[in-house]
Structure 1
Amino acid sequence: MTGRPRTRSTLLPALSGPGRAIRTVGALLACASLTVGCGVIPGVSAGAGDDPIKVMTWAPQETNATNKPGMPALALAYARHVNSNGGINGRKLQVLLCNDHNDGVNAAKCARRAVKENVVAVVGSYSQYADSFFPILEGAGIPYIGGYGITNGEFTSPLSYPVNGGQPALLAGLGRELARSCGPVTLVRPDTIAGDQLPTLINSGLEAGGRDAAHDVRAAEDATEYGTPSQRALERATTDPAKAGCVVPALGDRTSTFMDSFRRAREDYPEVRTGTVLGSVDQTVIDATGGASSPYEGAYITSWYPVETDKRWNEMKKVIREQAFSDTRIDPADAGVQTTWIAYTVLEAVVKALGEDGDVTADTVRRSLDDGFKVTTGDLTPTLQWQFQDVLASVGFPRLVNTEVTLQVVQKGQLVAAGNGFIDVTKTLRGAEAE
């Protein structure tokens, strides 16, 4: 569309509502509102003895777009847990927080603060402004461990160590599943530069399943209603009289807004199903939209990790109960919270491997990761190991090492596992044309 604004999309939104996202609890949470200038959180900085291991976690909060307050909140809980058990190799873990406000200028400010504070890593963070923060981190040699996976930079920067396969893996996996279960597929996505990347990814899965490419419906990412895109998507999903199609909304924080319009338009197309990726939908969204009568009933959803009720999350839930029981920002079903947990698991493993007498700096952490260090995450992911050029370098994702996703489905209003274990989408992604 000529002249349309070329803005970025958040694409994978916060899993809790805006009201919940901005809720604070006590003085601790007041500081954790994450303004760029917010200092060290009381109770997290080290006491007497060796210098603490200083890291940073950033994420947007109190914005009109995607908010991820649970990620920094989980980082604080993880630090309290580690420090209550003697730290890492006897050293306290100190977490600094920053709010990028979903803005490139503030993302750069967060990165410059990380450099000034001499952190050893940025861990478990969310920002869509990779072009703003990566050059600063790269110039200082600071590793970026466990970003959310929403930017190409996270899968191309030599200082990025992603723990999941990001949107590429989710959409490729979803496309592959929908190729088996749906007729025509319609993708409803933001009319932005970031949104322009989505059709290629879902089409790689559809084409691997021998199906035609998805119909591409563009929509404004900041609209207050989506009646016209809903109608257009439904019409294109029913072009094959032999088999009903599926609609895939990928509109970030506006996915729920879209579904309000879609529910009404769908009354004339009851046979059409939906599919989406975790981050656009979780159990709280399903409950809020009607449970078993929700428009998500029967929807396939791809995730990077096991379903939230899986026992492999028990350790994370225990830490949340013990260290952040009153912090309503932390939802254990939030993919951002889960990603931050895994990212800190990686950090702790790397620092422990450096030994009690080892020098813990950005350089030593980065060198350890680059030297083939392997990290197990309690089967929440495959064993993680980063190499300079990994298996997907030929399609533009040299740092993408976790190519496995899980398939979930909404049954009787509940999000449950739809398959056994992980699905590897390496071959599917290899069929995608690099953007």
Structure 2
Amino acid sequence: MTGRRRTSFLPRPVKTAALSAGALAACAALAVGCGVVPGVTGGSGDDTVTVMTWAPEKTTATNEPGMPAMAKAYARWVNAEGGLNGRKLRVLTCNDHNDTVDAAKCARRAVNEGAVAVVGSYSQHASSFLSPLESAGIPYIGGYGVTDDEFKSVLSYPVNGGQPALLAGLGEELGKSCGPVALIRPDTFAGDQLPVLFGSGLKAGGHSAAADLRADEDASEFAGQARQALRRASADPLNKGCVVPALDERTNTFMDSFRRQRDDYPTVRTASVLGSVDQSVIDATGGASGPYEGAYVTGWYPVASDARWGPMKKVIREHAFGDNRIDPADAGVQTTWIAYTVLKKVVESLDGEVSARTVRRALDDGVKVETGGLTPRLSWRFEDMTAVVDFPRVVNADVTFQVVREGRLVAARRGFVDVSKVLESNAY
């Protein structure tokens, strides 16, 4: 860092506070919590800023090991540069195992260990982890956006439009060019929202609803769903149909089944969203000769080859120590980077105490975060939020359209596309 004296991370005496049982009960009753619970510190007398990042790892369903790994690399980098405004960044990580009980355990650990925020995380179990965070007043910064609750809780500060924006944007784009459309999605509570979101985009593009095909979240093969999808998408011989798998990392398994049957349906095209498809998936399925060639893919951010990812890639090279869990093209890793960019800006905006309360106040009061063009400028004041009834915390409804050309995921058009109007006009 230039122009700033490097501050050592020698510990100062830590002040603790105890709450009576009655005061604790009163705190838990408040929607946003008191921000102070037994064991939570982080005031002006503490030189360490503690946060947590969680994600599922080593499960039979969705896994995002790169997110906590990216958080650790970020901490090593920022601490080597003098910390956050001179304070050492301490990152706790937790595996929620795609399980409601473990997700709640991660949240309770964040509370017990004095985290001032949960940053850049992934979990499908918002109903389990938000309650402990809300009781303690701990903000949730930059969740992956896989659940509706992340766009409703007053303690959630999303950095992207989540699955709502991706599905609505993809639907609008395909609605202009596809014949019959078949959507394949997980048979889960989170998956139940996808047809409605995707359908809102199709409607905006002048299209009818897609065929909704469900699949087990941890299925090992999808031959039946692939057959159904191909038949539905080829129902109109005059218009090329589209098959849209939205199965997170199980999309690769689906495409293996899809590819074996596709020769009988040569006119059917594919499309998906980042998180279900990235460059590594395209490479693994044959690149230019694979089933994704020509496919549209909707993302939140610029393509991984964009120069704006340079600072993140530099940190990965110099501070990840070859950790192969971190893929700079992974949307989860990218979200964690942006979420920690937010945290850094917030802490730098604070003159004194760094706590869950002061971090939350800075976010609510309108701290503005520039992300180097990876997103629009981010701010979470009431007036910055969209008018989407079902997703009131959305402050960034921009998406990017990408396409697979010669086996590479490249930008289909320049810049971002704002899909907030689609979400607003088709709220459910």
TM exceeding 0.5: yes
Q: Which amino acid aligns with 2:314?
A: K
Residue 421 (structure 1) aligned with residue 415 (structure 2): yes
**From 390, 397, 404, the counterpart of 1:403:** 397
Structure 1 equivalent of residue 36 of structure 2: none
**From 103, 115, 122, the counterpart of 2:118:** 122
Q: What is the CA-CA distance between 1:219 and the residue it aligns to? A: 2.1
Structure 2 equivalent of residue 365 of structure 1: 359
**SS of alignment partner, residue 395 of structure 1:** coil
Q: Contact conserved, 1:393 with 1:399, CA < 8 A, in 2?
A: no
Q: Distance in 1 between matches of 2:192 and 2:186?
A: 8
Q: What is the CA-CA distance between 1:350 and the residue it aligns to? A: 0.5
Q: What is the CA-CA distance between 1:46 and the residue it aligns to? A: 4.7
Q: Which amino acid aligns with 1:375?
A: V
Structure 2 vs 1, CA of residues 47 and 324 (structure 1 numbering), >3 Å: closer, same or farther? farther
Structure 1 equivalent of residue 210 of structure 2: 214
Q: Give per-residue Cα distances to partners, 1:385-432, cap 9 Å, x unaligned.
A: 113476445431011111000000000111111001000001111122
Q: Which amino acid aligns with 1:65?
A: A
Q: Which amino acid aligns with 2:145?
A: G
Higher mean displacement: 92-101 or 303-312:
92-101
Residue 284 (structure 1) aligned with residue 277 (structure 2): no
Q: Contact conserved, 1:46 with 1:94, CA < 8 A, in 2?
A: no
Q: Give per-residue Cα distances to partners, 1:322-346, cap 9 Å, x unaligned.
A: 1113111110001010000000000
**SS of alignment partner, residue 226 of structure 2:** helix
Q: Contact conserved, 1:390 with 1:399, CA < 8 A, in 2?
A: no
Q: Contact conserved, 2:134 with 2:155, CA < 8 A, in 1?
A: yes
**SS of alignment partner, residue 276 of structure 1:** strand
Q: What is the CA-CA distance between 1:47 and the residue it aligns to? A: 4.3
Q: Distance in 2 between matches of 1:156 and 1:85?
A: 35
Residue 378 (structure 1) aligned with residue 366 (structure 2): no
Q: Distance in 2 between matches of 1:241 and 1:336?
A: 38
Q: Contact conserved, 2:249 with 2:275, CA < 8 A, in 1?
A: no
Q: Which amino acid aligns with 1:166?
A: G
Structure 1 equivalent of residue 176 of structure 2: 180
Q: Contact conserved, 1:186 with 1:217, CA < 8 A, in 2?
A: yes
Q: Contact conserved, 2:116 with 2:355, CA < 8 A, in 1?
A: yes
Q: Give per-residue Cα distances to partners, 1:240-265, cap 9 Å, x unaligned.
A: 22211100011223211111111111
Structure 2 equivalent of residue 324 of structure 1: 320
Residue 344 (structure 1) aligned with residue 340 (structure 2): yes
Say what the alpha-carbon RMSD is for the aligned residues: 1.4
Q: Which amino acid aligns with 2:393?
A: R
Q: What is the CA-CA distance between 1:223 and the residue it aligns to? A: 2.0
**SS of alignment partner, residue 181 of structure 1:** coil
Structure 1 equivalent of residue 31 of structure 2: none
**SS of alignment partner, residue 349 of structure 2:** helix
Q: Contact conserved, 1:120 with 1:365, CA < 8 A, in 2?
A: yes
**SS of alignment partner, residue 247 of structure 1:** strand
Q: Give per-residue Cα distances to partners, 1:69-123, cap 9 Å, x unaligned.
A: 1111111111111111111111111111111111111111111111111111011
Q: Distance in 1 between matches of 2:384 and 2:314?
A: 34
Q: Distance in 1 between matches of 2:59 and 2:344?
A: 31
**SS of alignment partner, residue 344 of structure 2:** helix
Q: Give per-residue Cα distances to partners, 1:128-182, cap 9 Å, x unaligned.
A: 1100010100000000000010011110000000001000000011011111221
Q: Distance in 2 between matches of 1:176 and 1:426?
A: 12
Structure 1 equivalent of residue 101 of structure 2: 105
Matches within 5 A, 1:23-422: 46-48=9-11, 50-355=46-351, 358-388=352-382, 391-422=385-416
Q: What is the CA-CA distance between 1:194 and the residue it aligns to? A: 1.8
TM (normalized to structure 1)? 0.87
Q: Which amino acid aligns with 1:231?
A: R
Q: Distance in 2 between matches of 1:279 and 1:47?
A: 41
Q: Which amino acid aligns with 1:381?
A: T
Q: Distance in 2 between matches of 1:350 and 1:415?
A: 33
Q: What is the CA-CA distance between 1:185 and the residue it aligns to? A: 1.1
Q: Contact conserved, 1:146 with 1:342, CA < 8 A, in 2?
A: yes
Structure 2 vs 1, CA of residues 338 and 126 (structure 1 numbering), >3 Å: closer, same or farther? same
Q: Which amino acid aligns with 1:284?
A: S
Q: Distance in 2 between matches of 1:253 and 1:393?
A: 32
Q: Which amino acid aligns with 1:56?
A: M
Structure 2 vs 1, CA of residues 132 and 389 (structure 1 numbering), >3 Å: closer, same or farther? farther
Q: Distance in 1 between matches of 2:225 and 2:399?
A: 29
Q: Distance in 1 between matches of 2:195 and 2:247?
A: 13
Q: Distance in 2 between matches of 1:403 and 1:394?
A: 10
Structure number, greater radius of gyration: 2
Q: What is the CA-CA distance between 1:64 and the residue it aligns to? A: 1.2
Q: Give per-residue Cα distances to partners, 1:277-327, cap 9 Å, x unaligned.
A: 001111111111101111011000000000000000000000111111311
**SS of alignment partner, residue 433 of structure 1:** coil
Q: Contact conserved, 1:390 with 1:398, CA < 8 A, in 2?
A: no
Aligned length: 388
**SS of alignment partner, residue 297 of structure 2:** strand
Q: Distance in 2 between matches of 1:48 and 1:193?
A: 45
Q: Distance in 2 between matches of 1:414 and 1:54?
A: 39
Structure 2 vs 1, CA of residues 213 and 403 (structure 1 numbering), >3 Å: closer, same or farther? same
